[in-house]
Chains A and B, each alone.
Chain A
Amino acid sequence: MKLKGQEATLDDLDWQILRLLQENAKQTYAEIGSQLNVAHSTVYDRIKKMEEQGFIKKYEAVVDPEKIGLPHITAQMTITTDPKETERIAKKLTKFSQVLEVSASFSEQIVVIAKVVAQDQAEMHSFIAKSIAPLPGVLRIRTAIVTNMYKEERFCLKPRENAAKKRNNL
């Protein structure tokens, strides 16, 4: 890992470690090191640096709400906004615990897209009607309730095979 002024960059080993952590963040330093043919202390140092530099934001357990018996529904909400209020609306949405993701997009109109969860349809509607619709600058809301989820992953690094082979002199 190099530091260019304030800006840090990742080398091949860092990328390999990140990829392995994304697959399983509970692996030990030794397990990661043995897969990459480096010492566990090297893995430890690299991970600590990447945490400090903000390349690794956090580690979290991904809970399956259905397995733990928590009834819920998920919806994708598209809010058409007054352009002057878009950022304010997006920031406000981030404050609600029911809102899991917020992003803004520009197609024909500026819209804010949010992923929302609630216990049931009644709670979902009540939240949108009482907390979202009254926000200044909300022009229209379209909500699609998710009926089937086929894939749900976060951004994941691809293996960099050439870099690994090069480092291992293969």
Chain B
Amino acid sequence: MTVSSSKVLRNVLREEAFYFFTSIGNYTGQSAASLEEFLQKIKDIDNKSLEFHLFREDFEKWISQTLGDNKLADEIKILRGQKVVGNALRDRLYFIVSRRLKELKSPSFPR
């Protein structure tokens, strides 16, 4: 089933945003209410937060269940399986999300 870019790229409600934690109950104060904002936040967020959420499957759940982009969620799932950590994880995650963002924004992608 083809996903519409307008749905994936929309701004979600405050309650549906992604909240970055570094461990159980420890909120960094950073959140993302859209895929675009998510991409900006993963550039600077603490590595611990990226590792915490990746291995809890939080990224793929939010992208799939809230934004509705199963393709991107599947790519992140593959990344999780590769056990990448630290700055390498940040770089890979940034690459995957920015590539998908570019694809979703392209004029040929269904709106």
Contact = CB atoms under 8 A, between A and B. Distances in A.
Interface of A: 75, 77, 80, 121, 124-125, 128-130, 132-134, 136, 138-143, 145
A138 B27 contact: yes
B29 to A, nearest CB: 4
A134 B14 contact: yes
B40 interface: no
A8 B31 CA distance: 50
With most chain B CB atoms within 10 A of its CB, the pick from A80, A125, A140 is A125
Interface of B: 14-15, 17, 19, 21, 24-29, 31
Contacts of A80: 29
Contacts of A129: 19, 21, 27
B15 A134 contact: yes
Given A132-B27, A140-B27, A141-B25, 4 more contacts: A80-B29, A125-B24, A134-B15, A143-B24
Contacts of B29: 80, 138-140
A145 B24 contact: yes
Contact of A142 (B17, B19, B26, B31): B26
A134 B17 contact: yes
Nearest to A122: B24
Contacts of B15: 130, 134
Q: Which label, helix, strand, loop or mixed, suits the secondary structure of the B interface?
A: strand
B24 A133 contact: no
16 contacts: A124-B24, A125-B25, A128-B27, A129-B27, A133-B19, A133-B21, A133-B31, A134-B15, A134-B19, A138-B27, A139-B29, A140-B28, A141-B26, A142-B25, A143-B26, A145-B24
A68 B72 CA distance: 45
Contacts of A140: 27-29
B25 A124 contact: yes
A130 B27 CA distance: 11
Most buried by B among A132, A138, A141: A141
A77 B25 contact: yes
Contact of A121 (B14, B24, B27): B24
A77 B19 CA distance: 16
A99 B48 CA distance: 27
